[in-house]
Structure 1
Amino acid sequence: MAPMAAVPVLVALHGEAYESANRFALVALLLVIGGGGLARIAAPQKIQINEALVVTALAFLIAAASMVWPLMADGLAPLDALFEATSGVTTTGLSVLPTVEGHSSTFLFARAWLQWYGGLAITVLALAFILAPSVATRRLAGIETDAAELVTGTRWRARQVLAVYVALTLAGVALLWLAGAAPFDALIHILAAVSTGGFSGYDRLSSLGPWPTLAVLALIMLFGATSFSLQYRAWSMGSRLLYADLEVRALWLGCLITFAALVACFAFAGPVRLADAAFLAISAQTTTGFANTPVSELPAAAQLVLIVSMGIGGDMGSTAGGIKILRWLVLIRLLRLLFARTAVPRHAVIEPYVAGRRLNDVELEAAIGIVTAYALAALLSWLPFLLYGVDPLAALFEVVSALSTCGLSAGVASPELHPLLKIVLCADMLMGRVEVMAFLILVYPRTWWGRTTEET
């Protein structure tokens, strides 16, 4: 986490924002000292799955908490700084600021950098470059295999992902600059687009530049929501791999269906805005959160369409949020299986397959469990907003956006939002990034503190 805090120091010094530079530098130093001390503690040879989930959740929680004090240098209240930091490291993009155009370049860069770094380093690079071969490594990765083989393979895959991530970032910055955006604007918006984060340097995205800038952002958002490992293989073995992948085709189909539904909603409410519908469809489906028109000004039906799109999300192995397309494909296949069994003899054996691979019971249970937990979290998070008198549709939109780490806002997230509701959204963003089960285990220590199981 130390580079996460150290890089903004350079931007702060360049902009002569010495107060911000001092705060980021001190936090980076404390992370180096604290992390170096903790790294000397030997990892246990036995680590449970629930402990591994807690480690993951704590990584994001500590990362967000460590950025609160540096962000307060730009005049934010502590809770608002926590909200922005949490939204950053979880690559969500929700903001409670009334405007961002009056803030310093250091602050704008730091938010975008938190999203870029949070989208990759905390989840991937930790396994690739920090963990040593051990039983603990296998548990943290959720894989049961030979330890040395796991670490070597994981580090190799992470280097592939890093190569794609950096290449997309550099290409995106160059393309956005050529499309008409200023160099600094190109940098911060591509950092947010590659990580499907959505933090912008403008209150209205139209201020970024002419229409080609939005086209570039849309393209980078689509790549950011596509599996990075798959993209690396496509670079090496040909782009046909992308077309042949079921998840990628489902992602594009989801964008197309969302676009068509938005066009229909716009047609009922007034003039059809094809460009706005296309950009919003890609932004919602990839859970990036860039908006070229305020969501609060959209028809209620269009907001409902976006809620569904955000909840579905992007591909596994990408920085996109939501429930993930693969899980929906599993559930659709399971539903088709239930229908098929009503038309065949009882003794007939029908097995579920997705993309030519047979699904086992554990995978089916996991998909059903994640979707159920997501729905329950959304309902429970929605309730406090209703109790405080927030418009029901706008409140549901905000909750789903936070849980999907999307960042599109119906106008509920604001400085005037009740502190309790800000905390609820922070919890939703963390749940959306680390997934609901890991967060619930973290806040229920009885499941992991001082408890062990016998492992074979």
Structure 2
Amino acid sequence: MIYLDWEDIKVALKDLSGILQVLAIVMLVPVIATLIYTPSADPFGILEDASAFIIPSIILYLMHKAIRAYVKTKQDTRTKHAMLTVVLVWMIIALVGALPFMIRGVLDPVDSFFESMSGWATTGMTMIEHPEVIDRDIIFYRSWTHEIGGVGIIALGLIVLIQSGNVAMDYYSSEVGGQKIKPGIKSTVLETWKIYLLYTLAGIVLLYIFGMTPFDAVNHAFAAIATGGFSTHTDSIGYYDSVFIEVVIMFLMLAGAISFLVHYKIFNGDVKAFFRNVEAKYMLILVVIVAFICFWSLIGTDTVGVDTLSPSDVLRKSVFQTVSAISCTGFGTSNVGDWPELPQTLIMILMYIGGFYGSTAGGIKLLRFAVIIKAVIFTVKRMLLPRHAIVSLRMGGKTVSQTELLYVLGLSMVYLVVAIVGAILIMALGYTGYESISTSLSAMGNVGIVYIQGSRWYDMHDFGKVVIALLMWIGRLEIFPILMLLAPLYNKSGKPKKED
């Protein structure tokens, strides 16, 4: 059991300081949108609007300076310190990141925290009912939180850390799966950002070519590659009713949901790396099966927002929503909350599974889902074959150890238990069990698809909003870093345990 003393906390705070410094700069980027989109010619009016981003930036910078001035330690960073830093930074940026919405009077404090957590955790759930009427710089800020949160604000902050190598990679492991691309954390992060930014730029250009305004193209490219889900329109991607835009968005969603290691191999000429990947095979199978069942369930029915007498329209919406769910993005061309229960249930299962390990997607990840399926097959084989038969559980040509299997099963089970607890808390507010579990899984998986309709969603009690925001936080960190903080500070003997 991990023991944290004050010295451990100081190590985590020391590393947190460098990340907060980077975030202080990141928070100033939306000021550019303020300068472009503020209609006032009065410099003081522009400064007043820009203060929504300047004030949080100053707060983050002062926190950085205070920690650096008062927290001194020579202890090296270890895994437990990395996990603690990850937990702290996501909560801090969600709290400070709520200020722009509050300062500009867009949302109340609880809704602002909800919106901020949803943005930084790349969930895409929103308490802004009609984004079209909100100032453009605030809408840009929402999308900007997706862009930065998607690849991992920890990964961005790592560039300023002194440490390099395996220990620093613990941070990257918490954010994007820990699959090394190049030796050294700085090289790994930079390679990740190159790939990420290339997809972002390509998405902006293509979306603009196919009919989006420059503003909409930037915002939707940010949200799609980050598998976020914030849109500039109430009707999300359905607003455009364009096959070409939907194809580009699906490409970006899938790109964000695929491991950066696979992207790196593809960019270096190994195109077959995708098709060799175990997760890719499972993703393709799930998309085909779920999209087909959704198509079959919708065709000929009386479903709002879908021309169920048009096979092409049903197919478009079935495929798009399936990709949106498994990539944990949450964009919509149709309101899934109006669909029949069978496709709704399948979409909910995809929200639980999620995308690739080492991607910006949420959920338990396809790799863990594949291990669970293999474990079931392995168990059946062991039952059917003679006792002396040698059967091993293998994944991608490698044997899965009992320790690894227990970790996968444990995380998947704890993930589900937390989602159920969250659903019970939401259900206590008067929502149905189906609405509650779907919302809980969507928040935990950082998906953003919501089955609760209209005012019943936007007028939810503040308690429910806080619960959902915390589920986003827990899901983004994949549970165990938070469980580490909740673990007893002493082992069974009552003495501190100094090892990791």
SS at match of 1:130: coil
- What residue in structure 2 maps to residue 91 of structure 1? 122
Give the 3 Å change call, closer, same or farther, for CA 128–249 of structure 1 in structure 2: farther
Partner of 1:27: 56
CA RMSD of aligned residues (A): 2.6
Q: Deviations over 1:306-332 (max 9, x none)?
A: 100111100011100111000011111
Distance 1:139 1:178 in 2: 40
Report how far residue 37 of structure 1 moved: 4.1
Contact 1:258/1:281 (<8 A) preserved:
yes
Residue 64 (str. 1) matches residue 94 (str. 2): yes
* 1:202 maps to 2:233: yes
Is 1:112 aligned to 2:143, yes or no?
A: yes
Structure 1 pair 43–241 and aligned structure 2 pair: CA distance change class (3 A): farther
Moved more, 71-80 or 159-168: 71-80
Q: TM-score, normalised on structure 1?
A: 0.92
* Farther-moved stretch of structure 1 (44-53 vs 20-29): 44-53
Distance 1:345 1:44, change over 3 A: farther
Gap change, CA 1:416 and 1:239, over 3 Å in 2? same
User: Which residue of 467, 472, 478 maps to 1:424?
Assistant: 467
- Structure 1 residue matching 2:184: 3-state secondary structure: helix
- Equivalent position SS for 1:414: helix
Q: Look up the match of 1:334.
A: 375
Matched, 1:52 2:82: yes
For 2:213 and 2:169, how far apart are their aligned partners in 1? 45
Question: For 1:190-240, what per-residue CA distance to the aligned partner results, in whole angstroms no more than 9, with x for missing partners?
Answer: 000000001000011332463211111011111110111211111112312
Distance of 1:307 and 1:132 partners within structure 2: 40
Could you tell me which runs of 5 or more consecutive residues in structure 1 were left unpaired when the two chains were aligned: 144-148
Paired residues for 1:301-450 under 5 Å: 301-411=342-452, 414-442=457-485, 446=489
What's the secondary structure of 1:98's corresponding residue?
coil
Q: Equivalents in 1 of 2:264, 2:111: separation in Å?
A: 38
Aligned partner (choices 224, 239, 243) of residue 211 of structure 1: 243
d(CA) in 1 for partners of 2:138, 2:151: 20
Give yes or no for contact 1:373–1:437 (8 Å, CA) kept in 2: no
Correspondence for 1:126: 157
Q: Which amino acid aligns with 2:452?
A: G
- Cα distance, 1:95 vs. partner? 0.9
> In the alignment, what sits opposite 1:75?
106
Q: Quote the offset at 1:152 in angstroms.
A: 4.5
Which range moves more in the overlay, 408-417 or 364-373? Answer: 408-417
- Cα 1:141–1:236, aligned 2, differ >3 Å: closer, same or farther? closer
Q: CA deviation at 1:140?
A: 4.5
Partner of 1:11: 33
| 8 A contact 1:50–1:447 mirrored in 2 | no
Query: What pairs with 1:100-179 in structure 2 (closer than 5 Å)?
Result: 100-133=131-164, 137=168, 140=171, 152-179=183-210
Letter in 2 for 1:119: G
* 2:227 and 2:253 in contact (8 A); partners too: yes
Determine the C-alpha separation between the residues in 2 that align with 1:167 and 1:411. Answer: 36
What is the deviation of 1:134? 8.2
| Of 340-349 and 353-362, the range deviating more from structure 2 | 340-349
How far did residue 14 of structure 1 move? 2.1
1:25 partner letter: I
Aligned counterpart, 1:285: 326
TM-score of the two chains, using structure 2 as the length reference? 0.84
Q: Which residue in 2 is equivalent to 1:181?
A: 212
Alignment of 1:246 onto 2:278: yes
Stretch deviating more after TM superposition (227-236 or 315-324) = 227-236
1:146 aligned partner: none
Q: Corresponding residue for 2:24? A: 2
Residues 139 and 29 (structure 1), Cα distance of their counterparts in 2 relative to 1, 3 Å cut: same
Contact 1:101 1:202 in 2 (8 A): yes
- Rate the CA distance shift 1:241–1:179 in 2: closer, same or farther, 3 A: same
Count residues with an aligned counterpart.
450
Change (3 A) 1:78 1:342: same
Secondary structure of 2:498's partner?
coil
Which stretch has the larger CA shift, 365-374 or 129-138? 129-138
Query: In the alignment, is the contact (CA less than 8 A) between 1:65 and 1:82 conserved in 2?
Result: yes
Give me the whole-angstrom Cα distance separating, in 2, the residues matched to 1:371 and 1:240. 29
C-alpha contact (below 8 Å) 1:202/1:208 kept by paired residues:
no
Contact 2:294-2:318 at 8 Å conserved across structures: yes
Structure 2: gaps (5+ residues): 1-22, 39-45, 175-179, 303-307
Moved more, 167-176 or 197-206: 197-206
CA drift at 1:74: 4.1
What SS does the aligned partner of 2:484 have? Answer: helix
Distance 1:137-1:235 versus aligned 2 partners, 3 A rule: closer
| Cα displacement (A) at 1:452 | 5.3
In 2: Cα distance, 1:294 partner to 1:447 partner: 49
Please report how far the alpha carbon of residue 264 of structure 1 lies from its aligned counterpart in structure 2 after TM superposition.
Answer: 2.0
Shift of 1:139: 5.3
Cα gap change, 1:82 to 1:305, in 2 (>3 Å): same
**8 Å contact from structure 1 (residues 157, 229) kept in 2:** no
CA distance in 2, matches of 1:44, 1:283: 46
